[in-house]
Amino acid sequence: ATADPVSVFPEGWERGTWCNDHDKLHERLDIIEEKVIKTVEHLESEVKSLLNIISETTSNIPIAPGTPLIDFFDGKY
């Protein structure tokens, strides 16, 4: 005889404890994803700010005539 799934799993297939655990896991992952996105946005802002400071600082440095210019980023940025 075939076992009835409801009798084998008294809570039923739809809302077993594994499903609650699965929902909780997704909630935690959503929270982590939101924190990662906010952290990345903050770091992007900080990097842009630092690059602006570097750009302003280097543009104010007097360069002696004949001094070769060096591109530290090799034209990548």
Tell me: pLDDT of 3 over 70. Answer: no
Domain assignment of residue 63, yes or no: no
Task: Provide CB contacts within 8 A for 63, sequence distance 6+.
Answer: 69
- State the number of CA atoms in the 13 A half-sphere of 54 facing the CB: 8
What element of type H or E holds 54?
A: helix 17-59
Domain assignment of residue 19, yes or no: yes
Domains of the chain: total: 1
Domain assignment of residue 3, yes or no: no
**How buried is 9 (Cβ within 10 angstroms: 0-12 exposed, 13-18 middle, 19+ buried)?**
middle
Q: What pLDDT digit, counting tens, does each position of 15-74 carry?
A: 567 788 889 999 999 999 999 999 999 999 999 999 999 888 877 777 777 777 777 777
